[in-house]
Structure 1
Amino acid sequence: MQKTEYDAIVVGSGPNGFAAAITLQQQGLSVLLIEGKKEIGGGMRTQALTLPGFLHDVCSAVHPMAVLSPFFKSLSLEQYGLELIHPKHAAAHPFDDGTAGILDRSVEETAKGLGKDEEAYLNFMSPVVRDLPKLLPDLLGPFPIPKYPLALAEFGLKAIPSAVYVANKFKTKLARGLWAGMAAHAIQPLGNLTTSAIGLMLMAAGHVAGWPIPKGGSQSVANALAAGFLALGGEIQTDFLVKSLNQLPPARVVLFDVTPKQLVEIAGEKLSASYKNRLVKYRYGMGVFKIDWALSAPIPFKAEACRSAGTVHLGNTLEEIAEGEKMTSEGKQSQKPYVLLSQPSVFDDSRAPEGKHTAWAYCHVPNGSKEDMTAAIENQVERFAPGFKDLIIARSTMNTEQMEAYNPNYIGGDINGGVQDIFQLYTRPVLSLSPYRTSDAGIYLCSSSTPPGGGVHGMCGYHAAKSALKDIFKISIS
């Protein structure tokens, strides 16, 4: 039976909502976690989107940051049934000539596959891989006061420049293309400052801990988090869409796993005019158009290594990817888009009926675009895997409007909770020493619209809960 009053309420059951709720509950507080959908998970949901027996990740699919996250590591989620699968290759980047750049767990093996750029890659990535584990608490939090200033400075010198600038360290199309595919996860023009930060983190994550997929789909991550939260005594209420603070039972503090736009709509009357004005100016980035396929066989990539990669980046050369991302950021649409593709059933036979397969892909589109990118995406897959189209049994598509309808945090299809450029990397959602606090002492923001931004890592929720514990409950945690 639901209580009539709580110490804390968390709205939204994505990875950050769960992280906030668990962190608060671990301190002995009474916590209610509220989810607008009938199922928990936010961006971590798995459904039969195409045909019965074919399980598709509705939003996130591959989780390199989950295995790096200090918060997730502390939970030991395997005790609640989570099993992570590591593909043979973390990621692959094919080219028109049938070759491919490969991101492997080993820095040396990855470098060896880049030919003449072997030494350049080793010189560039080895220090990052060496230092990443000790830098993670600083990199995955707000305004770091570094414990390792020299290592952080070395990382920053590589992370702050644009991906296009950093690409000049490499000479071969293999290295330049592989790098571009990583940096394009930033969902912004590759000429922007700090786009290298995303590429660095993802490449280093692959070397340090891999790019795993959850057995059974991303819903398995949500289910494990829910089991851990309930075991601590927390409460979950689903099918409860919060549109106003008046809907909530009394609580000393409410943490919202929502974006600034939604926070203004839900709690605007409690926020100061100046704070609301800053939230209204928060910028959202490009959206995505997503496809899920039920397939009769694995995708027949020309480059053999791509058939053993959990993630495949389709976009050919750095120049082609950079041009397409620039066009999209300007409101135009490339018909040869950069495509991110995952093929989980190659490694997890629970995702499809025997002998059949699933695949998941998306491309970037202008924010709010309703253009159907099915043909453009499928043409890109066919380009690098001739015969792919003949394998399609069924498909499910989602444009930006449908993405936002499914998950209100995806404003205009923006899956990162706001553009993560140089101006909003550490000023999410506003410039503040404590970006999780709002102008109201009882309201906090814990979504990917706060540092460190998008990704399944839970660190936004953890840091927001840590702030609330200190401010409201006078409890300090490390």
Structure 2
Amino acid sequence: MRPDAVVVGSGPNGLVAAVMLARAGRRVLLLEAAERFGGGLRSGELTLPGRVHDLGATVMAMALASPAFRSLELKGVEFAHPAVVAAHPLDDRPAVLVHRDPRRTAEGLGRDAGAWLATVGATARAGFPLVELLLKPLGPWGTGPSRPGWVGPRVLAQAVRFGLAGVLPATTFARRAFRTVEGRALIAGMAAHSMLDLRSPISAGYGLLLASLAHLVGWPLVRGGSQVLADALVAELRSLGGEAVTGHRVRRLAELDAPTVVLDVSPRQLLTMAEWPAGYRRRLQRFRYGPGVFKVDWALDGPVPWRDPAVAGAGTVHLGGTLEEIALSEAEMAAGRHSPRPYVLLVQPYAADPTRGGHTLWAYCHVPNGSPVDMTDAIETQIERYAPGFRDRVLARHTMGPADLEALNPNLVGGDIGGGLAGLVQFVRRPVWSPAPWRTPLPGVFLCSASTPPGASVHGMGGWQAARLALRD
């Protein structure tokens, strides 16, 4: 039977779009080129038999905060929270810890306690209405309190307050708002998730939002691996009568026969799938990809031997030292160079989820897009800096550079896990300037990948927006 809608690509955005269309009564066919569903939500045995590693996303703060995922109310997915949300080790002083409780976090910042509560704490207190507004930069927002998504004066005031700080470069914001080494370093570690030069506008906004989610919803992991979340979405689609197929690569739109097509693909792939109007093609060609990452997964014979034992309870660890060190590392990367002391984002899943077959660990650092350089030694040196004897715990390791990541998932162009540069211009021009960039010039064809607003992370909002437009049309 001819489907009403075909969704190409089973990353979180494609999966959300497929489920939303199916819940609206459409006959949906989901096609995935890989042998497993999930895109950035896949898990596998990368090092030793029985050790479960997440190939992409592990920490799921956005999945709990996103209106798209909250509306799905999936069954069979359990989120595991570490005792400590995140840790930021420093040389010759205790690590800075982020707890679910903002006041407990502030207490660890000494003189900067008030600054944390006035900035990150205030964003967290604004709650889901502000997060929803930030995740829907182009609407829909509704027109009154009886309308879903309505934005009232209070939320608008909170958004303005957030925007005044968030539009700043992270380096500027950190130095204006915080006085201590600890406070400034903590903001730098948060903002560096953006993969931007921390001297760039809006890099502070990424750090503020991410830090506030630690208090609002936490930074949990999916018990059993991120694949569990992808599989639950596929199961939901099938329960609604949808069909899901792996190992089916779509190269041209002409291969598909459906009135609605939703594409969870990169602009580079989109360009090859049809003959687009000249203006739209030129705009897609101008889309800029961001830095890549170099990722290492380890199987360990025990927990990481952190110099500060408090770090052992953290699900996420930011390695890179002070604000100045992290800013220099990210500036080097943005200039096309490889820092000898890179900012390293590390996740120790065993701190929250003991079901993954032992002590598994992963970390990555940012590198220039498409970089062929092996950063294993640089990453492990940064870990050893704060956890002497770490290498002695390694039983096996698995590395993926930008080329490996792109081969695993073509959406990761040059190893860019963010779906495109996340700077000020491309915050809403994703991938083109438009009040509805999820809609393409071809009738019934929509784009929903992380290259559409609001960008990267497991929030499903690109799929939510594309499905909403498809249903409206």
For residue 127 of structure 1, give the secondary structure of its aligned residue in structure 2. Answer: helix
**Residue 197 (structure 1) aligns with:** 205
Q: Name the residue aligned to 1:230.
A: 238
Match of 2:421 in 1: 419
1:221 to 229, 241, 247: 229
Counterpart amino acid of 2:464? Y
Partner of 1:475: none
> 1:365 maps to which residue?
367
- 2:56 aligns with 59
Q: TM-score, normalised by structure 1?
A: 0.95
* 1:75 match: 72
Match of 2:314 in 1: 309
2:86–2:98 CA contact under 8 A, matched in 1? yes
How far the C-alpha of 1:98 sits from its partner, in A, is: 4.3
Structure 2 counterpart of 1:331, from 311, 333, 336: 336
What value does the CA root-mean-square deviation take over the aligned residues? 1.0
2:97 is the counterpart of 1:95: no
- Once the two structures are TM-superposed, the CA of residue 173 in structure 1 deviates from its matched residue by 1.0
Equivalent residue number for residue 348 of structure 2: 343
Secondary structure of 2:40's counterpart equals coil
Match of 2:251 among 237, 243, 252: 243
Match of 1:391 in 2: 393
d(CA) in 2 for partners of 1:189 and 1:308? 29
Q: 1:148-297 counterparts in 2 under 5 A?
A: 148-168=155-175, 169-248=177-256, 250-267=257-274, 269=275, 271-297=276-302
Distance change >3 Å, CA 242–CA 189, structure 1 → 2: same
**Residue 75 of structure 1: CA displacement?**
1.7
Q: Whole-Å Cα distance in 2 between the matches of residues 335 and 151 of structure 1?
A: 40
In structure 2, the partner of 1:8 is: 5
**One-letter amino acid of the counterpart of residue 343, structure 1:** Q
User: Does 2:325 align with 1:320?
Assistant: yes
1:37 paired with 2:44, answer no
Tell me the equivalent position of 1:462. Answer: 464
Alignment partners' CA distance in 2, 1:432 and 1:305: 47
In structure 1, C-alpha distance between the alignment counterparts of 2:190 and 2:241, rounded to whole Å: 40
Inter-partner Cα distance in structure 1 for 2:58 and 2:122 = 28
CA offsets 1:257-286 (integer angstroms, 9 cap, x no match):
01111100122x1x2110010000000000
Kindly provide the CA deviation profile for residues 306-326 of structure 1, in whole angstroms up to 9, marking residues without a partner as x.
Answer: 100000000000100000100
Aligned to 2:434: 432
Deviation (angstroms), 1:228: 1.3
Paired residues in the alignment total 460
| Aligned 8 A contact 1:302 1:386 in 2 | yes
Question: Quick one: which amino acid aligns to residue 50 of structure 2?
Answer: G
Report how far residue 159 of structure 1 moved: 1.1
Q: Is the 8 A contact 1:141 1:460 kept in 2?
A: no
CA contact (8 A) 1:21 1:229 kept: yes
> Is the contact between residue 120 and residue 209 of structure 2 (CA under 8 Å) also seen in structure 1?
no
For residue 332 of structure 2, what is the amino acid of its counterpart? M
State the Cα distance separating 1:42 from its structure 2 match.
0.4
Q: Tell me, what secondary structure is at the counterpart of 1:350?
A: coil
The alpha carbon displacement at 1:247 in A equals: 2.7
2: CA distance, partners of 1:263 / 1:142:
23
Match of 1:476 in 2: none
1:137 positional shift: 2.4
AA at the equivalent of 2:385: R
Q: Distance in 2 between matches of 1:305 and 1:74?
A: 36
Q: Indicate the SS of the match to 2:35.
A: coil
Q: CA deviation at 1:300?
A: 0.9
The alignment partner of 1:43 has SS state of: helix
Task: Tell whether the 8 Å contact from 1:132 to 1:204 is kept in structure 2 after alignment.
Answer: no
**Conservation of the 8 A alpha-carbon contact between 1:98 and 1:384:** no
Question: What's the CA shift for 1:119?
Answer: 1.2
**Structure 1 residue runs of 4+, over 4 Å off?**
none
Match of 1:107 among 85, 102, 108: 102
Q: How does 1:109-148 map to 2 (within 5 A)?
A: 109-144=104-139, 146-147=151-152, 148=155
* TM-score, structure 2 as length reference: 0.96
CA deviation after TM superposition for structure 1 residue 136, in Å: 2.4
Q: Deviations over 1:148-188 (max 9, x none)?
A: 32121111112111101110111111111111000000001
Structure 2: which 5+ residue stretches go unaligned?
A: 142-150
Q: Matched residues in 2 for 1:346 and 1:158: separation?
A: 33
Question: C-alpha separation between the residues in 2 aligned to 1:461 and 1:63?
Answer: 17
Matching residue's letter, 1:207: H
Where does residue 474 of structure 1 map in the other structure? none
Task: Answer whether contact 2:195 2:366 (CA < 8 A) is retained.
Answer: yes
Cα displacement (A) at 1:102: 1.1
Cα deviation, residue 241, structure 1: 1.2
Quote how far apart the aligned CAs of 1:231 are.
1.2
Give deviations 1:337-379, integer Å, cap 9, x for gaps: 0001001123222212xxx411010000000001000000000
CA distance in 1, matches of 2:137, 2:269: 22
Partner of 1:444: 446
Q: How far apart are the structure 1 equivalents of 2:255 and 2:396?
A: 41
Counterpart amino acid of 1:256? L
Query: Is 2:24 the partner of 1:21?
Result: no
Amino acid at match of 1:87: P
Percent identical across equivalent pairs? 48
Distance 1:98 1:228 in 2: 48
* Amino acid aligned to 1:325: E
**Contact 2:20/2:467 (CA < 8 Å) preserved in 1?**
yes
